[in-house]
Amino acid sequence: MNRIVARFDRLRRAQSKGFIVYIGAGDPDLNATHDLALAFEKAGVDVLELGVPFSDPLADGVVNQLAAQRGLESGATPPKVLETVARIRRSSQIPIVLYIYFNLVHKVGLERFVNDAARAGVDGLLVLDLPPEESGNYEAVMKQAGLCNIYLVAPTTPEDRIELIVRRGTGFIYYVSREGVTGMQEKVSDTIAAMTAKIRAHTQLPVAIGFGVSTPEQARTVAGYGDAVVVGSAIVNRIAEHGKSPDLVPRVAGFVKSLADAVKTNSNSAQ
Residues 227-267: pLDDT tens digits? 999 999 999 999 999 999 999 999 999 999 999 999 998 65
Residues 82-141: pLDDT tens digits? 999 999 999 999 999 999 999 999 999 999 999 999 999 999 999 999 999 999 999 999
2 backbone φψ class: left, alpha, beta (φ>0; ψ -120 to 50): beta
Q: Note the pTM of the prediction, 2 decimals.
A: 0.94
Residue 177 covered by a domain = yes
Ranking 17-21, 97-101, 174-178, 249-253 by mean pLDDT, the lowest is: 174-178
CA atoms of 3 and 96, how far apart (whole Å): 8
Residue 270 covered by a domain = no
Residue 271 covered by a domain = no
Sign of the CA dihedral running 137, 138, 139, 143: positive
Residue 209 covered by a domain = yes
CA atoms of 52 and 26, how far apart (whole Å): 8
Domain span at 37: 3-265
Residue 219 covered by a domain = yes
Sign of the CA dihedral running 171, 5, 271, 42: negative
Cβ atoms of 236 and 33 within 8 Å: the answer is no
Domain count, the chain: 1
CA atoms of 137 and 110, how far apart (whole Å): 9
Query: Half-sphere exposure of residue 19, counting CA atoms within 13 Å on the CB side?
Result: 27
pLDDT of residue 268 exceeding 50 = no
Residues 42-89: pLDDT tens digits? 999 999 999 999 998 886 778 989 999 999 999 999 999 999 999 999
User: What was the pLDDT predicted at 15?
Assistant: 96
User: What was the pLDDT predicted at 24?
Assistant: 97
Q: Give whole-number Cα distances, 78 to 54, 71, 98, 147, 187, in Å.
A: 9, 11, 10, 17, 34
Q: Bigger pLDDT: 269 or 175?
A: 175
User: What was the pLDDT predicted at 185?
Assistant: 47
Query: Half-sphere exposure of residue 147, counting CA atoms within 13 Å on the CB side?
Result: 29
Cβ atoms of 24 and 232 within 8 Å: the answer is no
pLDDT of residue 183 exceeding 50 = no
CA atoms of 198 and 136, how far apart (whole Å): 26
For the residues 204-219, what does the mean pLDDT come to? 93
Residue 99 covered by a domain = yes
- Which sequence positions are flagged as catalytic? 49, 60
Interhelix angle 248-265/233-242, rounded to 10 degrees, is 160
CA atoms of 159 and 246, how far apart (whole Å): 48
CA atoms of 49 and 192, how far apart (whole Å): 22
Q: How confident is the model at residue 178 (pLDDT cuts 50, 70, 90)?
A: low
Query: Half-sphere exposure of residue 58, counting CA atoms within 13 Å on the CB side?
Result: 7
Residue 75 covered by a domain = yes
Concatenate the DSSP letters of all residues of 35-53 into one string: HHHHHHHHHT-SEEEEEPP
Ranking 3-17, 38-52, 137-151, 201-215 by mean pLDDT, the lowest is: 201-215
Q: Give whole-number Cα distances, 128 to 23, 28, 52, 76, 99, in Å.
A: 15, 23, 11, 19, 7
CATH number of 191's domain: 3.20.20.70
